[in-house]
Amino acid sequence: MTIVRTESLSKVYNPDTVPVHALRDVSIEIDESEFTALRGPSGSGKTTLLNMIGGLDKPTSGKVFIDGQEISRMKDGERIDFRLHNIGFVFQHYNLIPVFTARENVSFIMMLQNRDKREIEQRANELLDQVGLGDRKDARPAQLSGGQQQRVAVARALASQPRFILADEPTANLDTEAAMNLLDIMETMNREQNITFVFSTHDQRVIDRARRVITMVDGAISRDEAQQEYGLREG
């Protein structure tokens, strides 16, 4: 089942001064349960495309559909509400609230959704257990390593039960061990829970795990290819 579809997506920044063509006529489809990486050099358009899919920015032209709904035509308030209930985000710099505990950071988005207090607490605990932080639920971000903070961010992204997760350079600030642990967690969630992940990344460690790699150059897609299973390539 197709979750994300873009049609002839283009984005031009500074159109009236010095135009920067960040995206050029990009059309893609992303299906349920994909584990997909957008790769390319800086300025290739991969983060811009992620932002368009996530409703964080609006295209200059073209369309973005999530589950058949055209989010690119939504008003700002509608798009914010849609993101809250349908899209999870994992960012390079974690973006955790420093005065909140790990459990409170994970709970926050569910509070915005006006969920039942008991349900919020139960789901936050379950998600932190899933990412291996069951014993650090009451720790604040400053008391956690970078890898642990990013695992809290993954739990937070999943808290709203989104249709898919967008991860922008999620391993960029992590050492090899922390990055591999994080990728193990996300890959397990993808395989066992059918959670869809789309990454924007320079990191070969992420690209090696992806089952589909979309290469972008100068705002356009230059290659779109399926990869073998990670275990088969390693073995």
Any idea what the CATH number is for the domain that residue 9 is in?
3.40.50.300
Structure token digits, residue 30:
């992303």
Please give the tally of structural domains in the chain: 1
Average pLDDT, the chain: 93
Residue-level pLDDT at 15: 86
pLDDT by residue (tens digit) across 115-142? Answer: 999 999 999 999 999 999 999 999 999 9
Residue-level pLDDT at 146: 95
Catalogue the E-assigned strands of 67-163: 69-70, 87-90
How many DSSP H helices and E strands does the chain contain?
A: 8, 10
Q: Give CA separation, 15 vs 7, 20, 160, in Å.
A: 21, 7, 36
Considering Cα of 66, then 67, then 68, then 71, what sign does the dihedral take? negative
Query: Percentage of residues in the chain with pLDDT exceeding 90?
Result: 89
pTM (2 d.p.) = 0.92
Domain that holds residue 22: 2-234
Alpha carbons 194 and 217: distance in angstroms, whole number = 30
User: Sheet containing 2-13: which strands, arranged edge to edge?
Assistant: 20-31, 2-13, 61-66, 69-70
